[in-house]
Amino acid sequence: MEEKQILIDNLKINYKIAGRGPAILVLHGWGGSSDSWLIFQKILAKAGYRVIIPDFPGFGKSVTPPKPWGIENYTDFVLKFAQKLDLENSFFMVGHSFGGRISIRFTSQYPEKVKKLVLCDSAGIKPKPGLKTRLIFWMASIGNAIFSPRHLVRLKDTARNLFYIFLRNKDYVKADGTMKETIKKVLEEDLLPELSQIKVKTLIIWGGADRVVPLKYAYIFKEIIKDSQLEIIPRIGHSPHLETPEKLAVKIINFIKEK
């Protein structure tokens, strides 16, 4: 395994590459990096694949963009990254969670570049606001009113973080500066309408005990993406690549080998 750096739009990007053979591009989840896929990468490399895992801008050892990014910015980044590494003849794509969002947009826009797609516990579908969500927005509007006076403005960020802890949104709490605005932009987009535009063969893998993106979304992906199949890994949570990398790798290898 080699760790390398390249420049894309004046941003220093870190990535790991291992193995030889057909290329597999892995897009990590929010708060993750190429480091969290090391075991998985080694398994696939030994199986005869060239596995490439970039740290998204703002994650791992890659530089944070100067302005908040949305899904389209990250999709454009993946396109330029693939061009830099001469992956123009197409590759297999694996997207986990946040990386799944980018994979959905990328594959719907550039189907000719993706041989097959794997969506692992993928984000992308915006939940419909229920009673809890409406209550949250009501509380948020009250909070904005409370902290609007000048002498209380400095307390607003602290209050917001406590609010997100209450919502169990650890990604927002851990993010800072530009990345806080980035996650807000990302979460605003609903990729549900784009699922039907995915024309490549797709494997949907889900941890049966995923509490971050519940299993019900896996069935929605399966229903809308035409040429797709669903594999559920029982008793596994949101991160199969950490909890059971061997099993995840085997399922992906079998899928890639299918004709």
Q: Provide the edge-to-edge strand list for the sheet that holds 50-54.
A: 2-8, 11-18, 50-54, 23-27, 91-96, 114-120, 202-207, 228-233
pLDDT digits (tens, 9 = 90+) for 13-41: 999 999 999 999 999 999 999 999 999 99
DSSP string, 237-248: -S-HHHH-HHHH
Q: Is the distance from CB of 210 to CB of 237 less than 8 angstroms?
A: yes
**∠37-52-87 over CA atoms, to 5°?**
155
Residue 142: φ, ψ to 5°: -65, -40
What are the chain's domains?
A: 2-126+190-257 (3.40.50.1820), 131-184 (no CATH)
pLDDT tens track for 121-142: 999 999 876 444 444 444 545 5
Rounded average pLDDT per 10-residue block, the chain, 259 residues: 97 98 97 96 98 97 96 98 90 98 98 97 85 47 49 46 46 66 92 97 98 96 97 98 98 96
Alpha-carbon distances, residue 257 vs 9, 92, 116 (angstroms): 35, 11, 10
pTM: 0.85
